[in-house]
C-alpha cells in the first residue's frame, strides 16, 4: 500500500482481544457545514464524520471519539483536541493515521496530528484551559469575511470593551451568560484573561479560561458589542454578571465569528497570544 493510495479492501478485522492503545488527536475544522462537534440527530457533526472514518481505518472497530469541547453548530476550530482508543489497524501502521484520515475527510476538516497518549488521557477531562477567539469585522464585508466574522461596522470603542471585559475576569457564577441554565449543575467558571486586539478592520476578542458554559462566550459577546457600539455602559456587564439572569442580557452572538483556538493540557498558557485573525 502506498502513502498516496490508502486501500480499505482488506477484510481482516482487529481481534477481539487486541490491545487498545490511547491516542491524542489535534484537528482543525470550518464549522459552517456542521451541526457542531457532538453527534446530533438532526444533522452531520464533526464527531460523527471523523469517528466514522476512523472506524473504517481500524477494520470497522467501533471507535468512540472524545472531544475537548462541544462546539455549537457553525463554530470553527483551529486546534480542537480529541482522544480515542483503538487496536492495531489491519490496513495501516499508526504513523499513517493522520495522512489516511485526511484522504478520507472533506477539506473543511483537517487532521493536524495523531500521537500516542497516556492511558488515562481524556481530551475533555484532562484539559486545563481553553482559548477561544471571537472575530468582529468593523470594515467592508466580502464573501470570505462574511463566513468567519460578525459584521458590525459601528463596534469600534475598544476601550469600552476592555473595561467591560475586565469585570468578567476571575472566578464567577456565569449564569447570566449561558443558555439552558437548568441543565447545568455548576455555573462557576474562571476566565484567566480576555484580550482585545485590532488587526486592521478585524476586532479579535480572545477568551482564556478553565472552561466555558453552553453558549457562554457568544452570550458574553452579545452584551460586549453593545459597549463597543456605545449603546451600553461597561458597568452594565458587571451588573448583568451579578444578576445571574440571562434574560437581562443581549441576544446571543452568531456562531460563525467564534473559533476554538487552542486546548491546553499543561500550564503553559501565560505566554499565549494571537498575532492575527484565526482564519488568516
Catalytically active residues are: 72
- What is the rounded distance in angstroms from the CA atom of residue 55 to the CA atom of residue 123? 18
Domains of the chain: 21-116 (3.30.70.580), 129-264 (3.30.70.660)
User: How much is the pLDDT for 2?
Assistant: 40
User: How much is the pLDDT for 12?
Assistant: 56
Question: Running along the chain, 280 residues long, what does each successive block of 10 average in pLDDT?
Answer: 48 63 98 94 94 94 95 96 95 94 97 97 97 97 94 95 97 93 84 96 97 95 97 97 95 97 94 95
User: How much is the pLDDT for 16?
Assistant: 54
pTM of the model: 0.92
User: How much is the pLDDT for 185?
Assistant: 85
User: How much is the pLDDT for 40?
Assistant: 87
Amino acid at each position: 500500500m502506498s502513502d498516496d493510495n490508502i486501500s480499505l479492501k482488506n477484510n481482516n478485522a482487529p481481534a477481539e482481544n487486541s490491545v487498545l492503545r490511547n491516542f491524542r488527536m489535534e484537528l482543525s475544522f470550518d464549522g459552517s457545514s456542521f451541526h457542531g462537534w457532538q453527534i446530533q440527530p438532526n444533522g452531520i457533526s464533526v464527531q460523527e464524520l471523523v469517528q466514522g472514518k476512523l472506524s473504517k481505518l481500524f477494520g470497522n472497530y467501533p471507535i468512540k471519539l472524545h472531544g475537548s469541547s462541544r462546539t455549537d453548530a457553525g463554530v470553527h476550530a483551529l486546534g480542537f483536541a480529541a482522544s480515542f482508543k483503538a487496536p492495531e489497524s489491519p490496513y495501516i501502521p499508526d504513523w499513517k493515521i493522520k495522512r489516511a484520515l485526511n484522504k478520507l475527510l472533506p477539506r473543511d476538516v483537517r487532521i493536524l496530528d495523531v500521537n500516542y497518549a497516556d492511558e488515562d488521557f481524556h481530551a475533555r477531562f484532562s484539559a486545563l484551559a481553553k482559548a477561544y477567539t471571537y472575530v468582529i469585522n468593523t470594515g467592508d464585508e466580502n464573501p470570505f469575511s462574511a463566513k468567519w466574522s460578525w459584521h458590525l461596522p459601528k463596534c469600534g470603542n475598544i476601550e469600552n470593551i476592555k473595561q467591560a471585559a475586565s469585570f468578567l475576569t476571575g472566578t464567577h457564577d456565569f449564569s447570566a451568560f449561558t443558555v439552558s441554565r437548568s441543565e447545568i449543575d455548576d455555573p462557576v467558571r474562571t476566565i484567566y484573561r480576555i484580550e482585545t486586539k485590532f488587526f486592521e478592520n478585524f476586532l479579535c476578542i480572545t477568551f482564556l479560561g478553565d472552561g466555558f458554559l453552553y453558549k457562554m462566550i457568544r452570550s458574553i459577546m452579545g452584551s460586549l458589542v453593545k459597549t463597543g457600539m456605545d449603546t451600553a455602559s461597561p458597568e452594565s456587564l458587571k451588573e448583568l454578571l451579578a444578576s445571574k439572569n440571562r434574560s437581562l442580557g443581549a441576544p446571543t452572538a452568531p456562531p460563525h465569528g467564534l473559533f476554538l483556538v487552542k486546548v491546553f493540557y499543561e500550564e503553559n498558557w501565560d505566554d499565549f497570544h494571537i498575532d492575527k485573525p484565526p482564519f488568516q
